[in-house]
Amino acid sequence: MACTGKLEVEIDLKSPADKVWSTIRDSTTIFPIALSHDYKSIEVLEGDGKSPGTSVSLFMPKGLLLLRCRKRELNRWTKRKRRDSSLIKWSCDFEKASEDIPDPSIIKDFAVKNFVEIDDYLQTKA
């Protein structure tokens, strides 16, 4: 029987929320450019590639399938009253084949790494 769960993380970034959100919303185009060390391409399987409910396949630089995501959820809001920073809250629902398999914390770590690198990318574009 499958076991489901949820990964969640909050990340404080230096870039304004609107810039971060715009970049993430266009991740199918921007991630392979800004994070080419992690993404060779992102293929949209279902949806428009930008809206909730979109399904994508993420490919690594050597062409291996990294992850297939369904029902991407990303919420963002500004934590501080200043306009020059943002707080990202990311979550991912997962399903394991059995309870013996550990939770996929590597996915959460990878998401945090990507958000930090996107923040750095945006800072160099400012």
Q: Which residue has the higher pLDDT, 28 or 80?
A: 28
Who contacts 40 (Cβ-Cβ below 8 Å, separation ≥6)?
A: 32, 59, 60, 61, 62, 63
Q: What is the mean pLDDT of residues 104-112?
A: 86
Q: What integer pLDDT is reported at residue 76 of this predicted model?
A: 43
Per the CB < 8 A criterion, the answer to whether 103 and 7 are in contact is: yes
Q: Which residue has the tokens 């062409």?
A: 63
Rounded Cα gap, residues 42 and 14, in angstroms = 26
pLDDT band (50, 70, 90) for residue 31: very high
pLDDT, tens digit, for every residue of 55-105? 888 788 775 555 555 565 444 444 444 567 888 888 887 777 778 877 788
The pTM of this model reads: 0.76
What average pLDDT is seen over the chain?
A: 80
Q: What is the mean pLDDT of residues 35-64?
A: 82
Q: Which residue has the tokens 């914390």?
A: 105
CATH numbers and ranges of domains, the chain: 3-34+72-125 (3.30.530.20)
